[in-house]
Amino acid sequence: MTVNKTQLIESVFAGSGEMAALMRAFDWSTTPLGPVEQWPQALRTCVQIVLGSGYPMSICWGPHYVMLYNDAYVPPMGAKHPSGLGHSCREVFPEAWGFMGPMHERIMTRGQETSFLTSQLVPLNRNNYLEECYFAFSYSPIPDDYGHVGGILGIGLETTERVLEDRRRQVLRDLASRTVGARNEQEVWHVSAQTLGAADVYVLPGIAIRVPTREETGPKGGERMPRLLADLTRLTRWVNYLGVPALAVPCGFDARGLPLSLQLVGRPFAEATLLATGQAYQRATDWHRRVPA
């Protein structure tokens, strides 16, 4: 590599961040962009701006929508990082291209900027399962050296946690208001199942049910515990029956092998949660087999 080429690469990909280092080491000649010395000045300048920004920013350049992004954009990428660098956005986000594709095409062909200042749903498979993700973002055209649209600049903030947390709080408020008038235990489970059944499936991972201790249930708590656990399982079956795929996941076990608490987990999160720890999965499976139907 000549001195001039080295200086050019260090100038375009300046900085001490992760993405600047990855871009300096990347063989751009293997991409539709070609070697860095052949890049239009507009692209080089835009890359410098993106790498120097603390906001999540990305570039999709050319008809192939080749992706470049900065350090702040890494968390939303999930497992798609670092393999997404230098690849087509169409290939990196195939699950979202039905939404993103027409928008990118409008920008490239008409120069039409697109913004969603409120949380926009974008389902992504970024952690080996499809998840509900929300973003507030803006996509705008990047002019090339001749004044035509050369690429797309994306700026966005992920709002997924805030959106889901707002929903979960609403579900908890609904549960509290609807169960306060329940006249018996069976009615509590019925009303709870109806409330959860009406909620979005992605709300469920935030709902946990703690099993009362022996001191809380009284002297006969040991006799009542298996029945209570069976009722909790029936609640999960109610939710499934109402069309919300969910699983009751035990969270911790006491000396007798009974769960300390249960969490209603919406699929596909259920499989991801249980498979994260093989031992917990096995204990949960054994427990479900012991609980009477």
- Residue spans of alpha helices (H) in 40-96: 41-51, 74-77, 89-92
Of 3.10.129.10, 3.30.230.10, 3.30.450.20, 1.10.10.10, the CATH number of 3-158 is: 3.30.450.20
* Cα–Cα nearest to 266, from 221, 207, 216, 225: 207
Single-letter amino acid, residue 175: L
Per-residue pLDDT tens over the stretch 32-79:
999 999 999 999 999 999 999 999 999 999 999 999 999 999 999 999
Highest average pLDDT, of 74-78, 159-163, 282-286, comes from 74-78
What per-residue confidence (pLDDT) applies to 274? 38
Does residue 132 contact residue 123 with C-beta atoms inside 8 Å?
yes
| Domain assignments of the chain as residue spans, ordered by start | 3-158, 162-290
Cβ contacts of 255 within 8 Å, gap of 6 or more:
none
pLDDT at 3 over 50: yes
| Nearest by Cα to 175 from 142, 144, 197 | 197
> Which range has the top average pLDDT, 4-8, 130-134, 252-256, 289-293?
4-8
The number of C-alpha atoms within 13 Å of 101 and in the hemisphere containing its C-beta is 9
Mean pLDDT lowest for which of 48-62, 125-139, 194-208?
A: 194-208
Q: Mean pLDDT throughout 178-194? A: 73
Looking at mean pLDDT, say which of 54-68, 206-220, 234-248 comes out highest. Answer: 54-68
